[in-house]
């Protein structure tokens, strides 16, 4: 296989961490496919990357829907090339204390995070196995270790770690690695929403969080994109089944 330009799928790539990952992998020379339900976000990041000369495909897809995922991955294969890099980043929060958490709060979070990662990985792995090369990178979180008001999100993010390690065991013989990244506090619209839920200004929330982090700052989406780039690179083939905490210190 002389041609080594890779095609990457980034789910939830319309904004925040996902959009920054798309920028980074595009800079690394990959073709970029972005799945999201946020059409404005898709249009924005798609136009930005195309203006820089990158090969980009934006697809409105619901990662929790089997038919939607199958159609989206097939489009990527047809229009950009076999997707051999997958970044399962799509996520939502429906925070609440357990006694107030509704079944829909639970199911929606599980559907996007865990079912979404399962469906996209299952659909894309056939292309990786055929190519005898692949990279699956799943977004976990420090919340996997437990976080008040996030029983659904914490369970989903812990699940991502078990899912990742199992994919590493199953797919390693085909030249496919699977790793997870567990961000700590990253400045995104999602953490801004958490601040609002807690009744804090985002500035105060960031400052209070930074004070507890050994490196004395909160994370940026670029911090996560850098870790994704490492796991996705040609040179990272002996790193698999790992969970990398990108959190500014050893504790969540």
Q: What pLDDT, on a 0 to 100 scale, did the predictor assign at position 1?
A: 39
Whole-number Å distance between alpha carbons of 252 and 249: 8
Q: What pLDDT, on a 0 to 100 scale, did the predictor assign at position 252?
A: 59
Q: What pLDDT, on a 0 to 100 scale, did the predictor assign at position 36?
A: 98
Say what the pTM is: 0.96
State yes or no: is 153 an active-site residue: yes
CATH 3.40.50.720 in the chain, residue ranges? 7-184+220-243
CA dihedral angle for residue 57, residue 67, residue 150, residue 142, rounded to 10 degrees: -50
| pLDDT tens track, the chain, 252 positions | 345 799 999 999 999 999 999 999 999 999 999 999 999 999 999 999 999 999 999 999 999 999 999 999 999 999 999 999 999 999 999 999 999 999 999 999 999 999 999 999 999 999 999 999 999 999 999 999 999 999 999 999 999 999 999 999 999 999 999 999 999 999 998 888 888 888 999 999 999 999 999 999 999 999 999 999 999 999 999 999 999 999 999 975
Q: Which two tokens stand for residue 77?
A: 């294969």
> What is the CATH number that goes with domain 7-184+220-243?
3.40.50.720
Residue 9: strand, helix, or coil = strand
Catalytic residue among 35, 153, 185, 231: 153
What is the chain's percent helix, strand, coil content, to nearest 5?
Answer: 55, 15, 30
Q: What pLDDT, on a 0 to 100 scale, did the predictor assign at position 3?
A: 53
């Amino acid at each position: 296989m002389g041609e080594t330009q890779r095609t990457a799928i980034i789910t939830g790539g319309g904004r925040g961490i996902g959009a920054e990952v798309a920028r980074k992998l595009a800079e690394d020379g990959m073709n970029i496919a972005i799945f999201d339900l946020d059409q404005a976000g898709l249009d924005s990041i798609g136009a930005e990357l195309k203006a820089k000369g990158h090969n980009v495909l934006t697809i409105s897809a619901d990662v929790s829907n089997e038919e939607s995922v199958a159609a989206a991955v097939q489009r990527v294969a047809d229009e950009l090339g076999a997707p051999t890099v997958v970044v399962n980043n799509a996520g939502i929060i429906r925070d609440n204390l357990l006694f107030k958490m509704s079944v829909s709060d639970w199911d929606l979070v599980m559907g996007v995070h865990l079912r979404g990662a399962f469906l996209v990985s299952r659909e894309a792995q056939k292309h990786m196995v055929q190519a005898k090369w692949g990279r699956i990178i799943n977004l976990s979180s420090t919340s996997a270790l437990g976080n008040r008001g996030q029983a659904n999100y914490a369970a989903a993010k812990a699940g991502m770690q078990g899912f990742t390690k199992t994919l590493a065991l199953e797919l390693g013989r085909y030249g496919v690695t699977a790793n997870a990244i567990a961000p700590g506090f990253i400045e995104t619209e999602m953490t801004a929403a958490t601040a609002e839920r807690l009744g804090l200004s985002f500035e105060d929330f960031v400052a209070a969080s930074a004070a507890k982090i050994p490196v004395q700052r909160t994370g940026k989406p670029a911090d996560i994109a850098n870790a994704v780039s490492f796991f996705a690179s040609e040179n990272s083939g002996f790193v698999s089944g790992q969970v990398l905490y990108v959190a500014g210190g050893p504790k969540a």
